[in-house]
Amino acid sequence: MGLTETLQQARKARRLSQLELSMRIGVSQRHVSFVESGRSKPSRELLLGWLETLDLPLATQNAAMLEAGYAPSYTAAPLEDPALVVAHQAILRLLEAHDPMPALVLDAQWNLVRVNRGGMWLAGTLVPWAQGPMNLLDLMAHPEGFLKTVTNLGEVAPSILVHPREEAVVKPELLPRVEAVANLIEGRLGSVRHSGRKMSPVMTTRFATVHGELSFFSMFTTFGTPQDITLESLRVEHMFAADAETRKTLERLV
């Protein structure tokens, strides 16, 4: 995707008109139109502000800067890099502190990059056949994956799809995986829509396992104002027992 397509799609995804965007970044609507059509090239400073205003992922911002002929603005150090040691240690402490409840770290592509003991136990219980590097979207799209064990899929399906679809707007490379998940869900349920009935304040997912039904809800932790692509991409999912039986099962078995 070129610079003009990136800027146009990101603006439309944010539901901004060219006029609204021009007012936010301090240029004329005409100049916004010229840049989006490729008739003008933005300065480095203008493009930086433009991309930040559209709240694009740092990796996408770097790619846009390169498309415009400028040096990228952000680093992408591996999590083991000495520069990220403090952040890495913080992640490990979060995971350890959450045991025996499952906690896992996902990157921008939904790859599983770190997991605690509770998360390893849950993955081994739900998808014992999975080996090697794991991708959460792939595990949801697999016919024998996580979603096969969800007993309230009709209730949680819209929520399962909403975040991946939102991310795919600014990360088009996710779209094939997201649509694979959607196709599997729709193949089992038909059309996926909100039922209209009153929903619980916290969405609970229920899994059928050899240890009985396990129920969880989730919270996510991300880094505030990250200045590295790796850190920005990471999010920690903390899964909490939604009932006493689930809590007791994990405390006994993990």
pLDDT in tens, 43-81: 999 999 999 999 998 999 999 999 999 999 999 999 999
205-243: pLDDT as tens digits: 999 999 999 999 999 999 988 999 999 999 999 999 999
Q: Are residues 164 and 240 in the same domain?
A: yes
- Compute the half-sphere exposure of residue 87: CA atoms within 13 Å on the CB side of its CA: 25
Would you say 208 and 238 are in contact if contact means Cβ atoms under 8 Å apart?
Answer: no
**Residue range of the domain that includes 15:** 3-67
For strands 205-209 and 112-115, give the pairing: unpaired
Whether residue 12 lies inside any domain: the answer is yes
Q: Are residues 165 and 107 in the same domain?
A: yes
Backbone angles phi, psi at 76, to 5 degrees: -140, 65
Q: Tell me 197's DSSP state.
A: S
Give me the number of domains the chain comprises.
2
Q: In what order do the strands lie in the sheet with 235-241?
A: 112-115, 103-106, 235-241, 212-222, 205-209
- Compute the half-sphere exposure of residue 49: CA atoms within 13 Å on the CB side of its CA: 12
Prediction pTM value:
0.83
Q: Are residues 49 and 153 in the same domain?
A: no
Amino acid at site 157:
A
